[in-house]
Structure 1
Amino acid sequence: MKYTRLGRSGLQVSRLCLGCMTYAPPERSGYSWSLNEEQSRPFIRQALELGINFFDTANAYAKGASEEVLGRALKDFARRDEVVITSKVYNPMRPGPNGGGLSRKVIMHEIDQSLTRLGTDYIDLYQIHRWDYETPLEETLEALHDLVKMGKVRYLGASSMFAWQLCKALHVAERNGWTRFIAMQNHLNLLYREEEREMLGLCLAEGVGVTPWSPLARGRLTRPVDAGSERSGSDAYARTLYDATEAADRRVIEAVTRVATQRGTPQAQVAMAWLLQKQPVASPVMGATRVEHLQDAVAALEISLDAEEIRQLEAPYVPHAVVGFA
């Protein structure tokens, strides 16, 4: 395993982050392809054995079940100081007023709920899951800063927003002497590269590490164009992200297939290797429901794509509408 500093911070994370949204009983997640706790634990253990120290979840994943599964597994398989846990806040956890968002009330309540579910007294990286248009930014940032000073959180991060919003958040935090975001978890892969226009440059300039979600486009980059999977047939969010650009994306997937065939490696390794060489990508958030998913991701760390291969992979891309902010 390889490790890197997350942004300009001193926090060291593995170059791969295990996303744990999948690890929750289907009856709580609502996804037929999610794994129950007994099925999930081997993947968390395997990740640790491969050297992965970075684990991603959120309060909203299966209404807290993902945090519970991850917390119990890490308690059994690792020492707390050896792992980096990230969770998120924003999405509604119950109906009615103050059930979600980024108000001080919600943040102070949800951090304690997440800590209880995770079975820990601090979260290493606490991220805002989305931008809250209804709450003053100053209120959100001061509440997050207070969590750091209280010792409940070590570092702060953000996810899926416009570059101007991250820029504003960094400026407001700096102006007030509050803790800055060190990480941006955004939507980035070979099928969706709109983040290259503004966000990646901003993160590089400001020392913010990028931890992309959906690095393999919900599995679409891991197989030939017309091949399907159980998840692809039932993942409504994937259709929201990619169905509108299916014709254009087909050419990109075909390029991944060609490069992978030429190399004699799985498509997943090629697609992940492309993402890992992007600056300032620190640690893609990958999902794993089969043993080969983790093996392919680790193998991608050793792949160095040459300029011609990168050209082949990138050439078919056409501009996409912005998606993934909701």
Structure 2
Amino acid sequence: MEYRYLGKTGLMVSELCLGTQTFGWVTNEAEAFRILDRFVDAGGNFFDVADSYNKGESEAILGRWLASRGGRSRFVVATKVYFPTGTGPNDTGLSRKHILESVHGSLRRLQTDYIDLYQLHCWDAAAPLEETLSTLDHLVRTGKVRYIGVSNFTASQMVKAIFLSRLHGWEEIVSTQMEYSLLVRTVEWEILPVCREEGLGFLAWSPLAGGWLTGKYKRDQAPPPDSRAGRRDRWEDLPEQRASERTWRIIDVLSEIAAQRGKTPAQVALNWLLRQPGVTAPIFGARTLAQLEENLGSVGWKLEPDEVERLSQASVIPIPYPYNFINRYTRFRR
């Protein structure tokens, strides 16, 4: 596995990031340990989790594995704060109170004294951004956090965070984590350009669109009962949200290229993401060791430029105003 710098920092992370949301949910601890061991054996060093995943159990399982492996400095651990961790009115959001209580809970569950990348899991319209950013700056200065990032922010919200931090001399965000895949490409309009302009790392969550880019879903067929859509785990991955002529067109091209290259659709979909400008790493989850093995097959080879273009054309979204106007008339630096 290759390594990439996280944005303009000196931190090197593996080109694949292992998401651990399945741990403590559909993946038990023994299987999670096997997945983590195999990921590291393949060269992976980057793990993503959140305090809200499975009521903290995902962090706890990762923490017990870290303790069993030793050598904490070998690994890059990213976690997140925002979503509810309790039933009280202050058990959610990006207030100073919730962030400070949440970071200590994450440190305890992860069995570590620092977090490599601490991310705001969602924009909070209620908490003043100055309160949030000054709290993150404090966490970096006290050594509890090494780097800070955001997730599920708009481009303007990211830019506001960057310039507020510069104005006050606070630690700046170094990365963003957003949904990005052949099915979801709207981050290309503003988010990715901001990342490239400001030197932010970009982490792609749901790079397989909740399983829709694995080839398991077929046109005019019910989803397999043991799949995300079949279990109806997440609203965004249900057929009524994902299925469309565009979806089936993408899957058709994906399957065709996969067959020609001797790869699986999931491997091709992940490799396409790795070829996109500004992307640091896709974050993929694995319910089983077999799923992990398949996803690891997405690296060590490259799609040909014409294959990347075929996939891009099959998944293209018509660009709305003002992006289409700017693209038509602006000059680009070469």
Residue 275 of structure 1 corresponds to: 273
Deviation of 1:302 after TM superposition, in Å, equals 2.0
Q: Secondary structure at the match of 1:222?
A: coil
Name whichever of 42-51 and 302-311 sits farther off: 302-311
CA distance in structure 2 between the aligned counterparts of 1:98 and 1:267, rounded to whole angstroms = 43
CA distance in structure 1 between the aligned counterparts of 2:271 and 2:31, rounded to whole angstroms = 28
Q: Which ranges of structure 1 fall in alignment gaps of 5 or more residues?
A: 27-33, 322-326
Name whichever of 282-291 and 225-234 sits farther off: 225-234
State which of 172, 175, 183 in structure 2 corresponds to 1:183: 175
CA distance in structure 1 between the aligned counterparts of 2:78 and 2:117, rounded to whole angstroms = 5
Q: Could you give the per-residue CA deviations for residues 172-203 of structure 1, whole angstroms, max 9, x where no partner exists?
A: 11111111111111000001101011100110
Residue 265 of structure 1 corresponds to: 263
Deviation of 1:50 after TM superposition, in Å, equals 1.0
| 1:169 maps onto 2:171 in alignment | no
Contact 2:204–2:279 (Cα < 8 Å) also in 1: yes
CA distance in structure 2 between the aligned counterparts of 1:104 and 1:187, rounded to whole angstroms = 26
CA distance in structure 1 between the aligned counterparts of 2:70 and 2:239, rounded to whole angstroms = 37
Q: Secondary structure at the match of 2:184?
A: coil
Deviation of 1:241 after TM superposition, in Å, equals 7.0
| 1:236 maps onto 2:233 in alignment | yes
Identity %: 40
Deviation of 1:40 after TM superposition, in Å, equals 1.3
Contact 2:235–2:241 (Cα < 8 Å) also in 1: no
CA distance in structure 2 between the aligned counterparts of 1:242 and 1:317, rounded to whole angstroms = 17
Q: 1:242 to 1:8 in 2, by over 3 A?
A: farther
CA distance in structure 1 between the aligned counterparts of 2:74 and 2:242, rounded to whole angstroms = 41
Q: Secondary structure at the match of 1:185?
A: strand
Residue 327 of structure 2 corresponds to: none
Q: Secondary structure at the match of 1:42?
A: helix
Deviation of 1:78 after TM superposition, in Å, equals 4.0
Matches for 1:294-305 after TM superposition, within 5 Å: 294-305=292-303
TM-score, length basis structure 1: 0.92
Residue 110 of structure 2 corresponds to: 118
Contact 1:256–1:313 (Cα < 8 Å) also in 2: yes
Contact 1:245–1:320 (Cα < 8 Å) also in 2: no
Contact 2:113–2:144 (Cα < 8 Å) also in 1: yes
Contact 2:27–2:288 (Cα < 8 Å) also in 1: no
Deviation of 1:219 after TM superposition, in Å, equals 1.4
Deviation of 1:223 after TM superposition, in Å, equals 1.0
Q: Secondary structure at the match of 2:315?
A: coil
Q: Secondary structure at the match of 1:86?
A: strand
Deviation of 1:36 after TM superposition, in Å, equals 1.6
Q: Secondary structure at the match of 1:73?
A: helix
TM-score, length basis structure 2: 0.89
Q: Secondary structure at the match of 1:211?
A: strand
Q: Could you give the per-residue CA deviations for residues 238-290 of structure 1, whole angstroms, max 9, x where no partner exists?
A: 54576334112111111100111111211111101000011211111111123
Pairwise CA RMSD: 1.7
Q: Could you give the per-residue CA deviations for residues 134-175 of structure 1, whole angstroms, max 9, x where no partner exists?
A: 011000000000000011000001111211111111111111
Deviation of 1:295 after TM superposition, in Å, equals 2.7
Residue 3 of structure 2 corresponds to: 3
1:251 maps to a residue whose letter is: R
CA distance in structure 2 between the aligned counterparts of 1:179 and 1:19, rounded to whole angstroms = 25
Contact 1:224–1:254 (Cα < 8 Å) also in 2: no
Matches for 1:300-315 after TM superposition, within 5 Å: 300-315=298-313
